Amino acid sequence: MSGISSKVGPNGQLVIPEEIINSLDWMPGADVSLSIEDNRLVARKSIPKSVPFFYALAMKSLEEMRRRKHETQERALNS
């Protein structure tokens, strides 16, 4: 996707065209971090601080489920 332009408004705001917003699957209220890299403006959707916590929690739960499945299989083999 190239050739899409936007203008800086009188209050210094830049409107990101809807086509770009939709292609990135951003929702209203999404936190976006801005940086300048190689003289380019780069916008990235910020990852909420809770994501790593919930990811770790899910992985711990998955590990626990696998452990229980393994124990059940072991019991079935030994009986």
pLDDT in tens, 6-58: 999 999 999 899 999 888 888 888 888 899 999 999 998 877 666 677 777 88
Domain spanning 1-46: CATH 2.10.260.10: yes
Q: What would you measure as the largest C-alpha separation in the chain, in angstroms? A: 77
Contact call for residues 42 and 36 (beta carbons, < 8 A): yes
Task: Give the whole-angstrom CA distance, residue 38 versus residue 19.
Answer: 24
pTM: 0.49
Per-residue pLDDT, 49? 67
Domain boundaries, the chain: 1-46, 47-79
Per-residue pLDDT, 37? 95
pLDDT in tens, 60-72: 888 888 888 888 8
Q: How far apart, in Å, are the Cα atoms of 44 and each of 2, 49, 75?
A: 17, 15, 49
Per-residue pLDDT, 50? 67
